[in-house]
Structure formats: structure tokens, C-alpha cells
Amino acid sequence: MTERPSGSVTREPTTLAIGPSRVEWKGDALHIHIEERDTRLFNPVHRRVRGVVKVHPEALNPTSFALDHGEKHIWHCLAPRARIEVDMENPGLSWKGKGYFDHNRGSESLEDGFRIWHWSRAHTKHGALVCYEGERRDGSLFASAIRFDRNGVAEDAELPPIARLPHSKWRGERRARSEISVARVRRTWEDTPFYARSELSSHLDGEEVVAVQESLDMRRFASPIVQFMLPYRMPRKRA
């Protein structure tokens, strides 16, 4: 993923293009066309990363949720359940599996609105369950659990107890929710000074589930040393 100037971004009703990569709706599926270079540290040869990911929503949710009192930050879970098809040309990989599609939008930067947040989502027998919690920049807390049925209809669910997780390798705090107050990290996919994304074993909606969990610390993200390090992992193209 490369940071690019505004002149490299185009948006139309069904398409968002950022440099050579683009996301577009075709029929009932979202097609994600990836045209990038990897960013392996200490390696001057950045391999080409090229391929297509297709997201097939099993249901669409029309409801957005404000994450702050001033509604400067909006979260929209468009497809709480989906099927995905991954077909990569470089490297040569392909697979199919379960998926999810959401997005955040706002009128201010995330570090101006939040200190930290934790998020998790799991497929369940009857739909999906999403837990969202954190601390805003003003010190106020928020926490909620939202259940989506197989038609994408959202309703508030009882918030399960906190299940504390081991810190990431960068000593970042991780937290999830589980009805038996126990969750286990199966794999950590992304581990950075300010962000971690993991696969969990948890217990939600009365069943054992495999959940995806993320923790984001915007205080660390905004620190000068992390801002100095970011271009080495996320290249910046200038106008």
C-alpha cells in the first residue's frame, strides 16, 4: 500500500482508484484490483504485487454508526458476511474463504478523535457479531456489540465480558470479548508498533467461533518516531 497525492485518486459512483490499484463494484461483487510493490525491510528489490480479490456479500447492511458524539467518525459495516475469491498473479497464490467488508469515514484524522480502539468480528450460525470499543481523545469510553442476521439487519447485542489477550510483540495492548471471558490468539497476521491484527478462538452467541481482532493505538501512531518510520513500510509517492 502506497501513499499517493490527491491527483492520483479518482472516485466515481462505483469505483475508487488510487494510483494503479482500484476498487469497483461489478454486478453483486466488489472487485479489488491490486497493483503494488512489497515493502520488505532491508531489501532494495521490491517485488511486484498484482492480483484481484473478489468480495461477494451474502447480505448488505444499509446502516452506519457514529463512533463519537459529534459524528465526525462514521463506521459502516456494509457486508457483515461475505465470500471471497483471491487470485494473485504475483506472487502466484489463490484461495477462497469467508470474508467481511466495512469502511470508516470522517471529517478529522483518527488520531484527533481516538486514543485507542479494539475491534473484533466473527461469523456465527445465524449471521455475524461485531464488537467495537475504545477510548476517544477526550477520555470518554465507548463499547458496543452488534449482531447482524443473515439478511444484514443489525441489532444491539449484550456486550460479552472482556477477554484480555497477550500483548503483541511490540508490547501493544490487545483486547477482545468472549462469553466465557477466555479467548486465545491463534495467529497474528499484522504486528506493528501501533497496530495488531490477529485470528482468535473465542465464544460468542453461544458457540465456539473463530474471530478476527484488531487493536489500534493512535497515541503511538502519532508519535514522531513512528511517523519517521512509516515511509519505510508504506512508500510515499509525491506529486
In sequence order, what are the residues at sequence separation of 6 or more whose Cβ sits closer than 8 angstroms to the Cβ of residue 5? 237, 238, 239
Question: Which of helix, strand or coil describes residue 110?
Answer: helix
Instruction: Please tell me the predicted confidence (pLDDT) of residue 182.
Output: 84
CA-CA distance, 82 to 80, in Å (whole number)? 7
The tens digit of pLDDT for each residue in 98-128 reads 999 999 999 999 999 999 999 999 999 999 9
Residue 230 grid cell? 512509516
Q: Which of 63, 83, 102 is the last residue of a domain?
A: 102
Instruction: Please tell me the predicted confidence (pLDDT) of residue 44.
Output: 67
Instruction: Please tell me the predicted confidence (pLDDT) of residue 122.
Output: 96
- Alpha carbon 85 to its chain's center: 18
Of 174, 170, 172, which is closest to residue 186 (Cα–Cα)? 174
- Min mean pLDDT across 44-48, 60-64, 167-171 is at 44-48
Claim to verify: residue 55 and residue 97 sit in the same structural domain: yes
- Alpha carbon 69 to its chain's center: 22
Tell me what the mean pLDDT of segment 63-70 comes to: 93
The tens digit of pLDDT for each residue in 208-233 reads 999 999 999 999 999 999 999 888 78
**Over 90: is that where the pLDDT of 234 sits?**
no
Tell me what the mean pLDDT of segment 9-18 comes to: 96
Instruction: Please tell me the predicted confidence (pLDDT) of residue 49.
Output: 94
**Over 80: is that where the pLDDT of 42 sits?**
no
Residue 146 grid cell? 452488534
In a domain, 125, yes or no: yes
Claim to verify: residue 89 and residue 33 sit in the same structural domain: yes
Q: Which of 56, 84, 102 is the last residue of a domain?
A: 102
Claim to verify: residue 113 and residue 95 sit in the same structural domain: no
Q: What's this model's pTM, rounded to 2 decimal places?
A: 0.89
Claim to verify: residue 98 and residue 113 sit in the same structural domain: no
Instruction: Please tell me the predicted confidence (pLDDT) of residue 41.
Output: 61
Claim to verify: residue 203 and residue 226 sit in the same structural domain: yes
CA-CA distance, 186 to 91, in Å (whole number)? 25
In sequence order, what are the residues at sequence separation of 6 or more whose Cβ sits closer than 8 angstroms to the Cβ of residue 227? 221
Q: Which of 68, 102, 136 is the last residue of a domain?
A: 102
In a domain, 151, yes or no: yes
CA-CA distance, 164 to 26, in Å (whole number)? 41
What is the span of the domain harbouring residue 151?
109-233
Claim to verify: residue 55 and residue 119 sit in the same structural domain: no
Instruction: Please tell me the predicted confidence (pLDDT) of residue 151.
Output: 93
Domain count, the chain: 2
Half-sphere exposure of 25 (CA within 13 A, CB side): 9
Tell me what the mean pLDDT of segment 151-164 comes to: 94
In sequence order, what are the residues at sequence separation of 6 or more whose Cβ sits closer than 8 angstroms to the Cβ of residue 27? none
Claim to verify: residue 227 and residue 113 sit in the same structural domain: yes
